[in-house]
Structures are given as C-alpha cells and as structure tokens.
Amino acid sequence: MGVLSELEEEVKRIRSDVDSVESSIQADCDDKTFERKKETLAYASERLLGLLAQAEAIRPLTLIVGEKDVEATDFERELANQLKDKKRAVMEEIHALLGRLTGCDEKMKREAEAREEKARMEERRRREEEERARRKREQELEEEELRRQREEEERLARDPTEIGNIEVFDEEEEARMARSIEEIEIENQVEVNRAYMVQAETELIELNED
C-alpha cells in the first residue's frame, strides 16, 4: 500500500503543476517565465512516464503474500483487490495527465509562434519609428537651414550696405594679411643682413690678426 500511496502523492503534485501551467499558457509573461512553463511541462511528462512504469510493475498479490508459493487467504485476496483498484486509479490518473500534457504542448507551440510573431511586429514597428524619427530630424535641419537663409536674405534686403561692408571687410583683411607678410619678409631680410655683417666682421678680425 505504501508504494501506491507514494505514487498517488507524486501524481497529485504533478497535477498541481500541470493545472498551474495549463491555466496560464496564454497569459502575458516574459521569455524567462515562458521557458519555465515549458520546462515544467517537460519535467511533468518525463516524471509521469516514470511513475506509470513503476505502477505497472506493481503486483498487488505479491505485495500482500510476498514471493512465497502459498495459497492466499480470502482476506489477503481482498487486500490485493483493493491494491488493484488503487493501482488502476493511479494509472488512469497518469494517463489522463499525459493526455492533458499533449494538449498543453500543442497550446505552448501555438503560443510560442504567436510570441515570435509579436516580437517580429514589435521589431518592425521599432525600426519604422526610428526611420520616422530620422526623417523628422533631417526635415527639421533642412527647415532650419532654409529659415536661416531667408533671415539672411531679409536682413540684406533691409540693409543693402551690409553687402558692401562685407566686401570692405574682406579687402581690409587681405590688406592686413599682406602687410603682415611684408613685415615678416623685412624682418627676415634684416636678420640675413645682420648675419652677413657679423660674418664680415669676423673675417676682418681674422685678417688683422694674420
């Protein structure tokens, strides 16, 4: 009786797990939780097959009278019949749970496909939103550039002398740069002349010493 009672308790625990997963297969959850549901169902299926093999191996009459080659009493036969009924009930429960698990597996496959399709759609929407945002930024930059150009044109239209001022400024800047270049060239020439003078003085001193 003890072996079958242990099998019954294990089957009850598995049934509770199956009930929990079966009722929440289509519930919204993250990928980690969904994978945990799949693992729970896979473990339940594997464990039930193991329990079924254990139940099938039980010989009720042998459990009662042992391996002795003796005639069982009426009382022992009654106990054996009770064990047979209990064994049958446990096996029927296991088969029923295995059938439910088959249905759960099909639902899980459909749900996995739905989740993949949802993920693809979300990714497509994300890319489309990024593209819209990029185009919006480009448009804003173009509009800003056009606005700046219009403001510049309007400013010059209101004060045409600005164009002349810009040209004068450019001429003055060129003249300043030219003067700077000329000054640098003069300074360089002065340095060259000074070097020649120093060299000439040195040579003259050397000649006088000779």
Residues 91-138: tens digit of each pLDDT: 999 999 999 999 999 999 999 999 999 999 999 999 999 999 999 998
For residue 84, the tally of other CB atoms under 10 A from its CB is 14
pLDDT band at 166 (very low <50, low <70, confident <90, very high): very low
Both tokens of residue 28?
């919204």
DSSP 71: P
Radius of gyration, alpha carbons of the chain: 49
Question: Rounded CA gap, 106 and 100, in Å?
Answer: 10
Q: Which amino acid is at 210?
A: D
Q: What percent of the chain has pLDDT over 70?
A: 72
Yes or no: say if 91 and 52 are a contact pair by the CB < 8 Å rule.
yes
Predicted confidence (pLDDT) at residue 162 exceeds the cutoff of 70: no
Using DSSP, how many helices (H) and how many strands (E) does the chain show? 5, 0
Both tokens of residue 148?
């700046």
Residue carrying structure tokens 């473990």: 43
Please tell me the predicted confidence (pLDDT) of residue 59.
Answer: 84
For residue 130, the tally of other CB atoms under 10 A from its CB is 10
Yes or no: say if 90 and 11 are a contact pair by the CB < 8 Å rule.
yes
